[in-house]
Amino acid sequence: MLDFLLYLAVSLALLIIGLFLMEITTKVKEFTLMAKGNKAASYVLGGRLLGLAIVLYSALAHSISLVDMVIWGAVGIAAQIIVFYLTEWLTPRRFNVSQSIEEDNRAVGLFLLLLSVSIGIVIAGCLTY
C-alpha cells in the first residue's frame, strides 16, 4: 500500500510539473485564456494533460523502480514540449498556431488536443522495453 501511495504521489507531481513546464515554455497561456472562456485553449490544455497522463502511465507500468519511472516520465514530458514546438514550426505559414488558440480557433484547438494524445501514445510506446 505504501508503494502505491508513493508512486501515485510522484506520478501526480510529475503530471503537475509537466503542465507547469508546458505553460511556462510555450507562447500560449492556456490557463489565462481558459479563465476568459477560450474553448480552444481548454482543448489544448486537456489534450496536453491526457497526452502526459498516457506517457506517465507507460512510465509507471514499465519502470523497474521509482527512480526509473521519474527518469522516463521526465523524458516523456520533455518530448511532449519538443513536439509542440515542432508543430508550431511545421505548420503552414498561412496561420500561426499560438495566435489561432488565442483567437479561440476551436478547429486548431481540437487538432492540437488530438495531436497531444497521439504523440503521447507514440511516446508511451517508446517507453516500453
Q: Where are the domains of the chain?
A: 2-126
Please report the pLDDT score of residue 68 as a whole number.
93
Please report the pLDDT score of residue 91 as a whole number.
73
Please report the pLDDT score of residue 80 as a whole number.
84
Tally of CB atoms within 10 A around 82: 12
State the DSSP code for 64.
Answer: S
Please report the pLDDT score of residue 86 as a whole number.
84
d(CA 70, CA 26): 23
Give me the residues of the chain with pLDDT under 70, please.
Answer: none
Please report the pLDDT score of residue 89 as a whole number.
79
Tally of CB atoms within 10 A around 112: 26
